[in-house]
Amino acid sequence: MKNLVESAEEVGIKINGLVFKPLAAAASTLSKDETKLGVSLIDIGSTTTGVAIYNDGAIRHSAVIPIGSASITNDIAVMLRISIEEAEEIKIKYASAKASLSSSKLDIEIPSDNICSSNNKISEHELSTYVEARMEEIFQLAQNEINRSGINNSLTYGAVLTGGGSQLRNIVPLAKELLEMPIRLGKPTVNIQGNKDFADKPIDSTLLGLLLWPYHSNEHKPLNRTIISWIEYFKQIIKEFF
């Protein structure tokens, strides 16, 4: 963490503080009713999966699982003997978190330059069986953390899935089957205006949560900027880069 702060400050970025990633994602995706009556946030990132469990308006348990959606990409790359970039593209376009909801008749072309055999196709269903196996592992580890919290029977709203890894097709049906609780996809829309068609996908949850953090951590204190102005300020920064 010290190295990250020093690296940012060397390029002129002032660091006001560090925020646990699942807390930032929760700030932009969870409602007050969910945190009050019980919910588990499962933030599926690239290399890690964060779990934050809320009840009575406060966090009761948190954990970081050292597996994320990059593991799925690596599995595909190894299985098909293709590059990480090509595996990521195939994952996004064709992979289903629940294999039974994928097609066994849809064949996916494997980049020919990387083929070590005469078979240069794989069905969407076969691809998805590998993806489902990895997602089952992630959800099993998340379930273990939910059970460890001791309030697994008090989660009225079940679990909210967010992060880039939660954008896999059919991930909600798989999570419902494995976790046996209500499941919804967490998009950064709670108490945020102006982010529609700009940063309104699960992969944006942490980013929007960090922008919301001054408000979230000082709910009863006046702010110099409104939430909308924070969004506009961030948009301007992006425009300057491109």
At 43-77, the pLDDT tens digits run 999 999 999 999 999 999 999 999 999 999 999 99
Residue-averaged pLDDT of the chain:
87
Contact residues for 22 (Cβ-Cβ < 8 A; gap 6+) = 41, 43, 50, 51, 52, 62
Q: How confident is the model at residue 220 (pLDDT cuts 50, 70, 90)?
A: very low
pTM for the whole structure:
0.83
Residue bearing the bigger pLDDT, 198 or 169: 169
Q: Domain-by-domain residue ranges, the chain?
A: 21-186
Tell which residue, 162, 124, 135, 150, has the closest CA to residue 42: 162
The closest alpha carbon to 233, from 197, 198, 190, 191, belongs to 198
Domain 21-186: which topology? Nucleotidyltransferase; domain 5 (3.30.420)
